[in-house]
Structure formats: structure tokens, C-alpha cells
Structure 1
């Protein structure tokens, strides 16, 4: 029966190619526009650490002075060296890491004349376990390496392959700035999006760093350990080490809290810490803390621009307009075939048979519109990637969104075909035969 309905649908579509093309085009345009924006929204709202994001938290404290203070001000996002090391020492979470983004000069084995800059993540030892960073070879450093300022580094797969070959990189020495460092690990392909752990200096949709170095080592070796530094108390940018700049915020800090009770205890700890530092004279403002889980942190920083949300709503509205037009075209098409349908009714076909036949024809139109919509969505996403917006580079149609596109096209066409198919199937046969 399905094959028979398919044959009838193909015959009907071939009899009115212009009308068929208009309906396919209408659905294709609606699907293309909506899938372009839905894909952008999808990549921007994706969970970068699935299964663990609810346990990862970004704390905030306010070490600044009273200058320009307003009670409604939000606490700063970055930490001073003093506060970050204090929180690391107290170790109130199951895992935690302080970190910063900078860059180093890489001098490859071919000679210093081929030196180049590479982005670098300076972090404490639990960074890799905290974020479940995958290794293809080797491992990360230990807390003891942090303390001893060990000259060890981890490379990403691409840089390791460029310098030594990824499978031969562990144990090699790489010259960074004025010092040589031993490679102890190679990270497998890892580039979470949104780039949640460094929104201040990298933005939400930048790429992960190529080199990872112990934070203490980077500071001790006077590497360029911070790309974002915010100083208060008119301190200005420090001329020496950031370690000796108590009024400069430049470190990100993440902590893993496994239970709601641990989250509550950690918030209480932040309040107590702020009160303690205020009693010591370091903090001048009343205790003001924040504690956001990963997805809450993205929302807090408005990672999804309002313009993207608006454009997505407009694209869905455009799809609705296209569906309304398709309903009208299908209604005209089916009602013009009332004589044919009445003959089928007279020969014994039930209303259900006619309804299934016409709905199948609408589904075929939707399938054609969905395929056209996919092509238009790929073109639309290519246009998005040419834009200067930071999220543009991640606007790709992945497998799940491909399924969504085809499902949306089929659902839209069936939705559009229900009323015309029902209206044509309930037409009294005598009326159609009389018209004939």
C-alpha cells in the first residue's frame, strides 16, 4: 500500500511541477533560515563538559578597595595571586585549579631563527583532572612539580606533532623563552566549546592553548603568564612579577564540588574567607561572593548575545510563514483534484485511505524541502563563519543537527498537510463527481 501511495504522489507532483517547486522552495527557505540560527544557538548553548558541568563551579570574591564602591556592584571575575594561592592551599573542593592564559616564544629544534609565539595555559596541577582533559601520551604534572617549579610542560597534539611527532614528544626538551622544558604529556584533541574556563581573556569561542605549564614555574621563570590584568587602588600595571602585585587580578579559579551540601559549605567558606581578609585589613568592602556552576557562569557572562536569540526567533517566525503558505498551496492543489479523489471514493477507497495518500504526498514535498533546506543551511552557516563575531568559527552543522533538520522538515510538511488532506478527504464524492 505504501508503494502504491508513493506512486500516486509522484504522479501528482509531476503533473504540477511549478506548484510542487513553489512548495519545496517555501519549506526549503524556512528550514534553511531556521536551521542556520538553530545551529548557531545549539553550538553556543552546548555543554562543554557533559556529565560534569553541574559539579564545576566558578567562585568570586571582592578584594577591591572602597574607591567607586556601590553595593549593587558584582564581584570581579579574576583573582589576585594572594587569594588564588590561599584558596588552593585551603583545598575546600574535591579538585580546584588556578590558571591564566599567556604566551611563550617557542624555539624549535631547527633554530631560533624559526621561533614563533604560542598561546600557553599556566595552571596548577589539578587542571587536567578537573576538566577531564584527555591525554594521548604521557600525563600532567603533580603538586610537587608546582612547588618545586619544575620545568615541565604538556603540549597539545598539533604542536607536539609539529615539533617532534606526537608519539615521540614525551621526554623531549623544548626551548620556551629563556629556558628548556621537558615534555611530559601530549593532549589528545580537546577544544571545549564554549571555551568556558577563560571568558575574560580568551572569550567564549576561542581555541584551547597549545602549551600547558605549571603556574608556579611560569611565574618563577618570568614568562608572559597573563593576557588580562586588572589592577585597583591606582596601582597601575605592575613593573615586576604579578606575584608581588597584591592589587592586581589576573587569575581564573575553578573548583569541583560534588554535592549540594559541598556547594553550600564552599559558599560559606568564601564568606568566611572574605570576612577574615577584611579583618586583616586586605579587603575593604563588605563580603560579597559569588559561586556559579558552569552553565550558570556562561549565563552570568551573557555568552549568548541577545541578537542571536532574536534572530533565531525571527527565523522560526519565517518558517511559520512558509508553512502557512505551503498549507494554502496544498489546499488549492488537493481541492483541484476533487474529481479524481471522488472517483477513488466511489471505487471503494475510504476517507482514511485518501487522507493517508494525501498526507504521504505532503511528506514527500517536505522531504524535498528538507534537502533543499540543508543546502541553504550549509550556505547560511558559511556566511555566518565569514562574520567577525567570535562565535562564527564554531558554526558548523553536526550530525545531531542534521537529524533535527530532516525531522523538522518532515514534521513541518506533515503539519502543513494535515488540514488540506483532511479537507479534501471529507469532500462528499457526489460533489466531486458532479463537478466532473
Structure 2
């Protein structure tokens, strides 16, 4: 019986192809608009490391000016000072801990025919790679002992390794970076977490770095630092004075296995701040925070309010399209009143008629969903072209979004067809037969 209803639906759609095309276009436009914004919001707010996001915590300490609170007092500073990061690293109170900052440098290739490469870097400590599940093609990250002995080691991205060594295993080779020789200990596979949760301050959707080097190289002035820096009082002259200042520019993450570990570490942070208060620091009330990955993304408003507003507006447009579809379906089904009256007179039940026309609505919905997928794809390409690299990796339909588009179109059209179908099924056969 279902196949018979499908055949009737197809015959009806072809017979009234103009009206059917209008409905398919209306649904397609609504679905395409909605899925474009839903996909962008979905990818922007996705969990970038679901296997560990509940164990990784971003550390915040309120070391700011007592008379001028950071972020109007709503949140503590979004980074730490070099002094605090160094002290927390030395304490080793977490299962794993990592201090990091953005850096850059120039690589001088061994091949004299190659031009020097300006690379974006990340200065971090050894636990960075294991904490964030960084994948490796060759080798691995360096050890904590390498941090302590201040070795000149480097991890390359796959792209950088391809440029310098043609993609071969370069572990054990050396490169000249900022005038110093660095030993390569590992090559990272393609790794582009979206959002780039480990450093929101320099761009949640930027690409990951070209090279990774030990954090001590910044303090030793062997590599140049970059990224966001905020200060609330003068730093003094020279780089050593800057390191000892109250300027915030480092990010500090810890890995804590259990809720008890988190509570213990928070107590440690409170005790640390109390100790620092004795030295005249941390004059504001204690406001130490540990935010897991998803909490940190929410705090930093990675998904902007205007993006959410655009998604809400796109769903309002979808509702308008569905209301138009209701009117078109009503006109189509009521136009079949003589046919419906004749079928009822021949013994067709209301449930039979209801099933037939709901299936016809569903077929129109599926066609609208397919058109919506095409429009959503074109819309996402337009968004990617408009925003460029910022939307790289965030403007593509995955399988989940494609299935959602078709299901949304199907369910929406069935709901839109309920009232027209109900009206059609309540046509009085005697009245229709008398008018013939």
C-alpha cells in the first residue's frame, strides 16, 4: 500500500508540477538558509577534544589592578603573568601541566637555493603534546628533562617538514632557527582543532603552528614571542623587567583526572594566591577559576552572539517558508475536492486519504530537503569566500548536517501538511458529487 501511495504522490506532483515546484523551492530556500547558519554554529561550538575535554582545565588568577577590575569584574584575566606560570610549573601539583605562548621565528634552510622561512611557533612545555593528544607522524614531543636542561629541540608540523625535508622522516636532523641549531625530535601529523581551544586569545579559528619549541627559549631570548599582552602598570626597562612584571601573556593548562583532583588543585591555587598577597601582589579578592575545555569556550564566547542571532533569524525565515507551503498545499488539496469526494463515495476511508496526502507532503519535503542541501552547500561556500581563512574548516557540510537537513525538511513539511490534509479529508462527498 505504501508503494501505491508513493506512485499516487509522484503522479500528483507531476500533474501539478508548477505548484509542486513552488513548494519545493520554498522548502529548499528555508532549509538551505537554516542549514547554512546551523552548520557554522555547530562547527564553531563543537567539542575539539571530546575524549579529554572534562579533564583539561584552563587556569585563571585575578592578579589585576584593585581599582580597575579586568572585564569589569565579571571574569579574572584571561592569561597569566610569567611569574605565576613559572611558579605553578615548579609546584607540579597537577597530573600534567603546560605553560605556553605564541612565538615566531625565521628558519634558514640548509639548501642554499631555498629562501628563509618565517614561521609561526608555539613555545610550550613538554606536557603540551600528551595533554592535547597531538598526533605524530615521526618521533614524539620532547621530555620534561629536556625542559629542565634547556635543550634546543623542536617539533615540526607536517607542512613545515614537507617544505624543509620533502616529507621524509627528519627526526634527528637539525635546523637553524633564529641563528641557533635545533634538533628535530618529532613531526606532527595534520592537526587543526576547531576551535583552537588551547589558545583562544590569539584566534579561536586560526591554524595550528608551524613549529613547537620549549617555553624556556622565550625567557632566554632565543626566540621571539608574540600574541596578546595586557599590562595594568609600568613594566620597567628591559626584557627581564618585563618577565617580572604584572603583564599577562601566557596560557596555563592542567590535566586533572577526577573531580577531587580539581578541588585539590583549586585549594592549591587559593593557597598560592594567599602566599603572594604577603608580597604585595593579588590585592583583589580571590577569584581563581578552573574551566574545562567547553566551559572555557563558552566563557570566551567563541560562538559570537551575532552568529546565534543569524541562526535564529534563519529559522524564522524557515517558518515563513513553511507557512507559504501550508497555503500552497491547502490550495492543491482543496483543488482535488471532486476527486476526493468521488473516492469517498467509492468507499475510501478518511485514514486512507490522510495517509495518501501526508505521503505526498513528505515527498515534497524530501525534494525540498535535497534542494536545501544544494543551497546550503552554495551558502557555505559563499561564507567561506567572504570570510576567507577565518572560516576555513567551518564551512562544510558533514554527514550529520546533511542527514539533519533532510530530516528537518521531511518533518517540517509533514507538519505543514497536517492542516491541509485534515481539511481535504473532511470534504463532504455528497456536496461534491451533487456539484458534478
Aligned residues of 1:104 and 1:223 also touching (Cα < 8 A): yes
> Are 1:94 and 2:95 matched, yes or no?
yes
Question: Structure 1 residue 342: deviation in Å?
Answer: 2.5
* CA distance in 1 between partners of 2:430 and 2:133 (Å): 71
Which residue in the other structure is 1:233 paired with? 233
More divergent stretch after superposition (114-123 vs 260-269) = 260-269
More divergent stretch after superposition (204-213 vs 55-64) = 55-64
* CA distance in 2 between partners of 1:5 and 1:109 (Å): 72
Over residues 394-419 of structure 1, what are the superposed CA-to-partner deviations in whole Å (9 max), with x where a residue is unaligned?
Answer: 22222211111111111111111122
Which residue in the other structure is 2:8 paired with? 8
More divergent stretch after superposition (369-378 vs 244-253) = 244-253
Which residue in the other structure is 1:197 paired with? 198
Over residues 156-193 of structure 1, what are the superposed CA-to-partner deviations in whole Å (9 max), with x where a residue is unaligned?
Answer: 11221222133422222222111121211111221111
* CA distance in 2 between partners of 1:67 and 1:112 (Å): 57
Map 1:161-172 → 2, pairs under 5 A: 161-172=162-173
Which residue in the other structure is 1:206 paired with? 206
Which residue in the other structure is 1:427 paired with? 427
* CA distance in 2 between partners of 1:73 and 1:306 (Å): 17
3-state DSSP class of the match of 1:231? coil
Over residues 17-42 of structure 1, what are the superposed CA-to-partner deviations in whole Å (9 max), with x where a residue is unaligned?
Answer: 21111101110111011111111110
3-state DSSP class of the match of 1:76? coil
* CA distance in 2 between partners of 1:64 and 1:41 (Å): 33
* CA distance in 2 between partners of 1:101 and 1:341 (Å): 71
Which residue in the other structure is 1:18 paired with? 18
Which residue in the other structure is 1:392 paired with? 391
* CA distance in 2 between partners of 1:418 and 1:286 (Å): 60
Aligned residues of 2:235 and 2:242 also touching (Cα < 8 A): no
Map 1:136-285 → 2, pairs under 5 A: 136-201=137-202, 203-220=203-220, 222-235=222-235, 239-241=238-240, 244-285=243-284
> With structure 1 as the length reference, what TM-score do the two structures score?
0.94
Map 1:42-57 → 2, pairs under 5 A: 42-57=42-57
Over residues 274-326 of structure 1, what are the superposed CA-to-partner deviations in whole Å (9 max), with x where a residue is unaligned?
Answer: 11011123433333322212111111112121111111111001101111110
Over residues 9-61 of structure 1, what are the superposed CA-to-partner deviations in whole Å (9 max), with x where a residue is unaligned?
Answer: 11111122211111011101110111111111101110011132122111111
> Are 1:304 and 2:303 matched, yes or no?
yes
Question: Structure 1 residue 197: deviation in Å?
Answer: 1.4
Which residue in the other structure is 1:369 paired with? 368
Question: Structure 1 residue 243: deviation in Å?
Answer: 7.3
* CA distance in 2 between partners of 1:432 and 1:267 (Å): 78
Aligned residues of 2:178 and 2:222 also touching (Cα < 8 A): no
Instruction: Evaluate the alpha carbon distance shift between residue 11 and residue 74 of structure 1 in structure 2; reply closer, same or farther with a 3 A threshold.
Output: closer
More divergent stretch after superposition (424-433 vs 409-418) = 424-433
Instruction: Evaluate the alpha carbon distance shift between residue 242 and residue 137 of structure 1 in structure 2; reply closer, same or farther with a 3 A threshold.
Output: farther
3-state DSSP class of the match of 1:230? coil
3-state DSSP class of the match of 1:386? helix
Aligned residues of 1:81 and 1:242 also touching (Cα < 8 A): no
* CA distance in 2 between partners of 1:82 and 1:169 (Å): 35
Which residue in the other structure is 1:405 paired with? 405
* CA distance in 2 between partners of 1:72 and 1:154 (Å): 39
Aligned residues of 1:242 and 1:248 also touching (Cα < 8 A): no
3-state DSSP class of the match of 1:11? helix
Instruction: Evaluate the alpha carbon distance shift between residue 24 and residue 234 of structure 1 in structure 2; reply closer, same or farther with a 3 A threshold.
Output: same
The Cα RMSD (Å) is 2.1
Over residues 253-289 of structure 1, what are the superposed CA-to-partner deviations in whole Å (9 max), with x where a residue is unaligned?
Answer: 1111222222222222211111101112343333332
* CA distance in 2 between partners of 1:187 and 1:197 (Å): 16
Aligned residues of 1:120 and 1:209 also touching (Cα < 8 A): yes
Which residue in the other structure is 2:355 paired with? 356
Aligned residues of 1:161 and 1:169 also touching (Cα < 8 A): no
Which residue in the other structure is 1:321 paired with? 320
Aligned residues of 1:222 and 1:241 also touching (Cα < 8 A): no
Question: Structure 1 residue 433: deviation in Å?
Answer: 2.4
* CA distance in 2 between partners of 1:111 and 1:286 (Å): 58
Instruction: Evaluate the alpha carbon distance shift between residue 435 and residue 121 of structure 1 in structure 2; reply closer, same or farther with a 3 A threshold.
Output: farther
* CA distance in 1 between partners of 2:223 and 2:215 (Å): 10
Unaligned runs of 5+ in 2: none
